[in-house]
């Protein structure tokens, strides 16, 4: 096992890794910007190093400063958390050259799965279903030809990243000519890679992802799936496990899990990872992409499996076996739901940094709160607006929803604005409660009311 792990991140995910390390008897090093000098992850780590000013490009994304912090503290491993440098293959390569274990997959694996085009090719070659689509598009004429082959509507997507950046729905040739260059420009600005491709567009999809763990030595397991269809502008807001999708029967879940385990074993995947799928209107699953890191929404999987994913990720990186047998078939215990509480305006969704005057997290049976904030803490304007991950677990999905509603009612955050009320609306929505919701749920909920009289004129 490692002696000391440096966490190249901040906020609640840095705290999450610190907790796992403490359970494993591993010392920790926190890095922080000048804006985070009083943050909880800085207080709770065994050591802390300031790596630069508030601007993430000069601190949390500044590789030389992070490597120097690891060297001066004699850390022997580095955990990237999620976001920032967590899926940067070049950073993982630098860690390896500096004899610093990167707690994640190899740089080669990250390059394979990090490009959506290469990931599609890899998935297709190994028997995972993918939506009809293209390779990297050379120019607009190439895009028009590929769209004609696949059939409109199609979705233009950035090869080098996600989060909705570089994504454009095109329903005809005119749309394609108008959207192609802006999609390239967005991809280049967001990911320093202008490569885009297209695939068939599903009008009302569900977003379902499978959690995997592999050791790169011929072992891999699927630890269930999560449904992440409650999204705004392709950003997840609510996640749950298991998925309530009627089409995801026990047989369908087991078949896909076996296929994924085979792909991960044969591909030599080592670490945690998440394979993301689109489910179309007929209930068919299609591979979209793979995230080669810890996911924000991992707590719902931990709640229904009883497995500490971060501890297992660290064990595998250290060359140890996980605490659960590779052959064990995990059966979900009840249901869990996560709500992402963001510091943002509830109407415009603009980030709302500022000082939290009062903070009271909820409690009670079945409630978990992952957060890096406290009363008196000033939420910086420089980073992601996520401040609390609220998780509810119950014996049934209905009980988990009821507990989450109670927890939201108990949540007190004053001094800034949050999206707590929006989460209450989502959980009360009939389509959500039936489990038949799609990624269009919030679009419907937030649509302005129709204009004109509420009745037909005579």
**Residue-by-residue DSSP string for 383-417:** S--EEEEEEEEESSHHHHHHHHHHHHHH-EEESS-
Report pLDDT digits (tens) over 215-254. 999 999 999 999 999 999 889 999 999 999 999 999 999 9
Domains detected in the chain: 4-103 (3.40.50.20), 132-200 (3.30.1490.20), 206-445 (3.30.470.20)
* Catalytic residue selected from 200, 232, 265, 293: 293
How buried is 348 (Cβ within 10 angstroms: 0-12 exposed, 13-18 middle, 19+ buried)?
exposed
User: What is the structure's pLDDT at 457?
Assistant: 38
Q: Is the dihedral of CA 389, 392, 393, 396 positive or negative?
A: negative
Helix axes 11-23, 309-317, angle to 10 degrees: 70
Residue 75 is encoded by which pair of tokens? 């850390």
Which of the residues in the chain have pLDDT under 70? 163, 450-458
Q: Is 440 a catalytic residue?
A: no
User: What is the structure's pLDDT at 452?
Assistant: 57
As a whole number of angstroms, the distance between CA 205 and CA 278 comes to 6
User: What is the structure's pLDDT at 441?
Assistant: 97
User: What is the structure's pLDDT at 455?
Assistant: 47
N- to C-terminal Cα separation, the chain? 78
CA distances from 389 to 177, 300, 340 (A): 41, 10, 5
Q: What is the DSSP letter of 331?
A: -
As a whole number of angstroms, the distance between CA 446 and CA 347 comes to 9
User: What is the structure's pLDDT at 450?
Assistant: 67
pTM above 0.85, yes or no: yes
Q: Is the peptide bond before 153 cis (omega within 30 degrees of 0)?
A: yes
Q: Is the dihedral of CA 289, 295, 296, 301 positive or negative?
A: positive
Angle, alpha carbons 50-57-95 (nearest 5°): 70
**Residue-by-residue DSSP string for 227-285:** EEEEEETTEEEEEEES---TT--HHHHHHHHHHHHHHHHHTT-EEEEEEEEEE-TTS-E
As a whole number of angstroms, the distance between CA 458 and CA 441 comes to 33
Residue 264 is encoded by which pair of tokens? 């991960």
Residue 54 is encoded by which pair of tokens? 């508030």
């Amino acid at each position: 096992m490692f002696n000391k792990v440096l966490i190249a991140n901040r906020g609640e995910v840095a705290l999450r890794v610190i907790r796992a390390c403490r359970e494993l008897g591993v010392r920790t090093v926190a890095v922080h910007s000048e804006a985070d000098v009083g943050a909880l992850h800085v207080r709770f780590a065994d050591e802390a190093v300031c790596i630069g000013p508030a601007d993430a490009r000069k601190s949390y994304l500044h590789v030389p400063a992070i490597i120097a912090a690891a060297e001066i503290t004699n850390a022997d491993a580095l955990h990237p958390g999620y976001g920032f440098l967590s899926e940067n293959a070049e950073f993982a390569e630098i860690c390896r050259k500096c004899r610093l274990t990167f707690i994640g997959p190899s740089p080669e694996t990250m390059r394979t799965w990090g490009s959506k085009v290469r990931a599609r090719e890899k998935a297709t070659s190994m028997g995972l279903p993918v939506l009809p689509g293209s390779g990297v598009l050379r120019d607009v004429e190439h895009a028009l030809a590929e769209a004609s082959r696949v059939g409109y509507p199609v979705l233009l997507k950035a090869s080098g990243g996600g989060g909705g950046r570089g994504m454009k729905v095109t329903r005809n040739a005119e749309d394609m000519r108008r959207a192609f260059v802006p999609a390239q420009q967005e991809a280049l600005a967001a990911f320093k890679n202008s490569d885009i491709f297209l695939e068939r567009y599903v009008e009302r999809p569900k977003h379902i992802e499978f959690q995997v763990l592999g050791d790169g030595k011929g072992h891999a397991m699927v630890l269930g799936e999560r449904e992440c269809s409650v999204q705004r502008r392709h950003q997840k807001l609510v996640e749950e496990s298991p998925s309530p999708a009627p089409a995801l029967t026990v047989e369908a879940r087991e078949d896909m899990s076996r296929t994924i385990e085979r792909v991960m074993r044969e591909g030599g995947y080592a670490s945690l990872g998440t394979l993301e799928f689109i489910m179309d209107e007929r209930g068919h699953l299609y591979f979209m992409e793979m995230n080669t890191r810890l996911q924000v929404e991992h707590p719902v999987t931990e709640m229904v499996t009883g497995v500490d994913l971060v501890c297992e990720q660290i064990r595998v990186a250290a060359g140890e076996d996980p605490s659960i047998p590779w052959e064990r078939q995990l059966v979900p215990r009840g249901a869990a739901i996560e709500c992402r509480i963001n510091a943002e305006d509830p109407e415009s969704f603009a980030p709302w940094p500022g000082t939290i005057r009062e903070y009271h997290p909820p409690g009670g049976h079945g409630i978990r709160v992952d957060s890096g904030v406290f009363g008196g803490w000033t939420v910086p304007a420089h980073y992601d607006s996520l401040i609390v991950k609220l998780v509810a677990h119950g014996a049934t999905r209905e009980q988990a929803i009821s507990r989450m509603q109670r927890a939201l009612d108990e949540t007190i955050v004053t001094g800034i604005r949050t999206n707590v009320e929006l989460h209450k609306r989502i959980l009360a929505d009939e389509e959500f409660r039936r489990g038949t919701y799609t990624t269009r749920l919030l679009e419907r909920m937030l649509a302005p009311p129709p204009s004109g009289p509420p009745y037909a004129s005579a």
